[in-house]
């Protein structure tokens, strides 16, 4: 850390987030005290503040978080720092075309995480020669030695196999580290530093059971004195300044260059409308970028790639890393990142998404192929848990557009919304129901069908909204009228509109969704109306693990098609009549 911060890295101490500064990611976030110490040594933090470590009124938390001006991404859930560093390095090399470099310090324990090797593969493939990973091979994990212990040659071979220039050094040798950091190659560099935990401390060095434990007071005082005695030169060190060549960018207030151009009644899949909208948004700002996990011909992010090939990042089938790359690309407001894959595959990246929220990241994720309506591909491809997952993220906005116009508006709004934005898109083609000049807002639902004689309020989204409209048409012939609501955003949900319309329909609500019962639209609506007198909610949703079949067959099998809605409405009305 001393060599990195006071010999190698170039940055402005009093402006830690300067766009031209070298970046540093402490992937082994539990080592936060050393990070805070170097910023105190550099002069950004007051030394006295270090004594407030982990206190509730201090910015110096137990693991790094972006509340600290010198921290770009939160770490501590191990194995994620390198992916974010790759995103920063990719941005520096291909988007900023600037000279800043990115350094990432990893512990040997986290090298068991598969996400590390997804990042290693990414960096090797794209030859991110502005990226340096430092492996702290101190042999010891939290409760046991790491699997390879000090066999640094194996780490070196693994790194080389992933396309990295790998150097083994004595991690306690300032001279060797200075020399290693100075080696420039046309590929990423891995510095494999053999170290000993507690080096130089009698009774602690290379011993187990010291992870996360402070030294006893008397031992600490003695050790501090021993270290102090070894310091030969107490001259204040200052880092070199960066070359200020990162361009000034603006990612605020990005507007579509023109309104949507759809015709009411035309059939469009919202997944395709997403691709069209993203490609269009790319013309509005050259900092809009797209990422995908080898599903671009299904999510339609390929339309963005076709029009903006230099701003598309193929992440291949590594969804955890794709989310981390997006987070890295979006740091310091350098880009507006949209990452897409099948909705269900984001479930394997839930930890990365959770950490993105802790990182105060502004990333946009689009999950296509949601629900049983995708048909024959079967349950492994069906997003049925995604609403639940994203609703649980504190900084998330969850969009569920029901036609092409709504999808285009969702993309535009997401680009300008802080936090994690999730856009849920569908495979089936459904009619456009909104005019091109329709206005959309977060947390504002649309009442798409209404009459003074409505007896039940039906809430659907995506394919189920169209099923609800078809059910309304069928019921109308039998002189039964329903009100149909499109929520547009599931989080936040438009509680006011839902309650107003429920009260106008005798308190009866039916929700219908192409998602499991748990955590979806039905539960969101229930949470919104809980405690409200006279309101009843009947939830139609996918009740168990589905199977392959035609889209219409599956909607019918799981009771979320128009016929099921018709039956639910009739039952609600007859129950009420019987009660009267």
Report how far residue 475's alpha carbon sits from residue 314's, in angstroms, rounded to the nearest whole number: 47
The catalytic residues are: 319
Structure tokens at 460: 């659907």
Burial of 526 (0-12, 13-18, 19+ CB in 10 A): middle
pLDDT digits (tens, 9 = 90+) for 362-418: 999 999 999 999 999 999 999 999 999 999 999 999 999 999 999 999 999 999 999
Report yes or no: 274 and 411 within 8 Å, Cβ to Cβ: yes
Question: What are the E-state strand segments in 389-460?
Answer: 396-399, 420-424, 429-431, 446-449, 456-460
β-pairing, 456-460 vs 508-516, is: parallel
CA distance 98 to 41: 27
Separation CA 381–CA 18 (nearest Å)? 42
pLDDT tens, 229-264?
Answer: 888 888 888 999 999 999 999 999 999 999 999 999
Q: What pTM does this model have?
A: 0.97
If DSSP codes are grouped into helix, strand and coil, which group holds residue 268? strand
Query: Distance between CA atoms of 159 and 277, rounded to whole angstroms?
Result: 39
The string of pLDDT tens digits covering residues 100-132 is 999 999 999 999 999 999 999 999 999 999 999
Nearest to 422 by CA among 398, 393, 388: 398
Q: Dihedral angle at the C-alpha atoms of 569, 570, 574, 575, nearest 10 degrees? A: -40
Pair 384, 378: CB distance under 8 Å: no
Pairing of strands 23-26, 456-460: unpaired
The sign of the CA dihedral 497, 500, 502, 505 is negative
Query: Which residue in the block uniquely carries the two structure tokens 């083994």?
Result: 168
d(CA 131, CA 164): 10
- The pLDDT confidence band at residue 580, using thresholds 50, 70 and 90, is low
Sheet with strand 536-542: strands edge to edge: 446-449, 482-486, 456-460, 508-516, 536-542
Q: Which two tokens stand for residue 518?
A: 């748990």
- Per residue in 503-531, pLDDT (tens digit) is 999 999 999 999 999 999 999 999 999 99
Predicted confidence at residue 287, as pLDDT, reads 98
Residue 253: count other Cβ atoms within 10 Å of its Cβ: 9
* pLDDT score of 525: 98
**CA 559/CA 537 separation, integer angstroms:** 16
Q: Which element (helix H / strand E) includes 32? A: helix 32-42
267-to-87, 405, 527, 562 alpha-carbon distances in Å: 37, 11, 33, 18
What is the C-alpha to C-alpha distance for residues 443 and 465, in angstroms, rounded to an integer? 17
Weakest-pLDDT range from 51-65, 206-220, 297-311: 206-220
Kindly state the DSSP code that residue 332 receives in the 8-state scheme: G
The string of pLDDT tens digits covering residues 152-181 is 999 999 999 999 999 999 999 999 999 999
Residue 505 φ then ψ, to 5°: -120, 40
Pairwise CA distance, residues 119 & 497, whole Å:
45
Task: Look at residue 235 in the predicted model and tell me its pLDDT.
Answer: 86
């Amino acid at each position: 850390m001393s060599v990195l911060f006071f010999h190698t890295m170039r940055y402005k101490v009093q402006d830690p987030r300067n766009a031209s500064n070298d970046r540093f990611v402490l992937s082994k976030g539990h080592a936060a005290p050393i990070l805070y110490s170097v910023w105190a040594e550099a002069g950004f933090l007051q030394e006295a503040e270090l004594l407030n470590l982990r206190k509730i009124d201090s910015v110096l938390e137990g693991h790094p978080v972006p509340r600290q001006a010198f921290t770009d991404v939160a770490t501590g859930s191990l194995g994620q720092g390198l992916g974010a560093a790759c995103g920063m390095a990719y941005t520096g090399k291909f988007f900023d075309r600037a000279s800043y470099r990115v350094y990432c310090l990893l512990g040997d324990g986290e090298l068991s995480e598969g996400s590390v090797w997804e990042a290693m593969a990414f960096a090797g493939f794209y030859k991110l020669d502005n990226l340096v990973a430092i492996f702290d091979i101190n042999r010891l994990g939290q409760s046991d030695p790491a699997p390879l212990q000090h066999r640094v040659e194996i780490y070196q071979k693994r790194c080389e196999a992933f396309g990295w220039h790998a150097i083994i050094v004595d991690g306690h040798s300032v001279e060797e580290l200075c020399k290693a950091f100075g080696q420039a190659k046309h590929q990423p560099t891995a510095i494999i530093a053999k170290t000993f935990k507690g080096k130089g401390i009698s009774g602690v060095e290379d011993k187990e059971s010291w992870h996360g434990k402070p030294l006893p007071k008397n031992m600490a005082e003695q050790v501090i004195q021993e270290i102090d005695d070894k310091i030969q030169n107490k001259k204040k060190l200052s880092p070199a300044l960066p070359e200020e060549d990162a361009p000034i960018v603006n990612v605020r207030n990005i507007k579509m260059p023109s309104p949507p151009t759809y015709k009411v009644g035309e059939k469009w899949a919202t997944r395709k409308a997403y691709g069209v909208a993203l490609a269009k948004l790319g013309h509005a700002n050259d900092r809009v970028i797209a990422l995908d996990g080898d599903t671009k011909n299904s999510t339609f992010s390929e339309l963005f790639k076709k029009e903006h090939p230099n701003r598309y990042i193929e992440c291949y089938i590594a969804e955890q890393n794709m989310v981390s790359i997006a987070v890295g690309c979006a740091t310091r407001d350098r880009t507006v990142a949209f990452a897409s894959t099948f909705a269900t595959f984001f479930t394997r990246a839930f930890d990365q998404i959770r950490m993105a929220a802790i990182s105060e990241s502004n990333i946009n994720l689009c999950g296509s192929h949601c629900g049983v309506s995708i048909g024959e591909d079967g349950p492994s491809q069906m997003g049925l848990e995604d609403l639940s997952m994203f609703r649980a993220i504190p900084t998330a906005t969850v969009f569920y557009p029901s036609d092409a116009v709504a999808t285009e508006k969702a993309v535009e709004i997401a680009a300008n919304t802080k936090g994690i934005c999730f856009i849920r898109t569908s495979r089936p083609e459904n009619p456009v129901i909104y005019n091109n000049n329709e206005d959309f807002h977060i947390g504002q639902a649309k009442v798409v069908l209404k009459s003074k004689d409505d007896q039940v309020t039906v809430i659907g989204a995506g394919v189920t909204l169209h099923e609800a409209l078809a059910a309304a048409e069928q019921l109308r012939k039998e002189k039964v009228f329903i009100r149909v609501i499109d929520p547009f955003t599931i989080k936040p949900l438009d509680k006011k509109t839902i309650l107003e319309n429920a009260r106008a329909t005798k308190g009866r609500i039916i929700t219908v969704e192409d998602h499991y019962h748990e955590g979806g639209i039905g539960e969101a609506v229930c949470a919104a109306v809980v405690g409200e007198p006279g309101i009843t909610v009947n939830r139609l949703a996918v009740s168990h693990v589905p199977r392959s079949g035609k889209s219409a067959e599956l909607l019918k099998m799981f009771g979320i098609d128009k016929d099921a809605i018709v039956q639910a409405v009739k039952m609600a009305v007859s129950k009420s009549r019987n009660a009267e």
